[in-house]
């Protein structure tokens, strides 16, 4: 049997370096310090932790819930945006969390 390739197997060191550079650039745009690393927030500005999502699919509600409750994220910057249920969840249960898409606050 052949194994299906995983997303991690498809990533080259160039892809990883490009992702880290993107996180550092976004941290600078937000006036924050880049942290990064597995399981860690991408940046910190004062007491606010932030996460950067640079991909083609929008952030979903379950993913947003996990970021807020497990990682303690206060800002999420997503290039692809957010699903409507994710925005509604933030509006109803976590109004202090800042959602940013393409440089604009949602």
**What average pLDDT does this structure show over 73-92?**
96
> Domain residue spans in the chain?
9-105
Sign for the pseudo-dihedral over CA of 98, 31, 48, 77: positive
Tens digits of per-residue pLDDT, 2-34?
A: 555 555 556 688 877 887 888 888 888 888 898
Tens digits of per-residue pLDDT, 49-78?
A: 999 998 999 999 999 999 999 999 999 999
Output b/e per residue, 35-53; b: 16+ Cβ within 10 A. eeeeeebbbbeeebbbbbb
């Amino acid at each position: 049997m052949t194994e299906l390739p995983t997303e991690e197997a498809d990533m080259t060191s160039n892809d990883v370096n490009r992702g880290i550079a993107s996180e550092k650039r976004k941290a600078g745009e937000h006036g924050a310090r880049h942290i990064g690393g597995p399981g860690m927030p991408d940046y910190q500005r004062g007491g606010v932790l932030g996460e950067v999502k640079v991909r083609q699919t929008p952030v979903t509600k379950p993913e947003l819930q996990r970021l807020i409750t497990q990682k303690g994220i206060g800002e999420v910057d997503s290039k692809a945006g957010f699903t409507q249920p994710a925005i509604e969840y933030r509006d109803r249960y976590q109004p202090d969390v800042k959602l940013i898409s393409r440089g604009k606050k949602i």
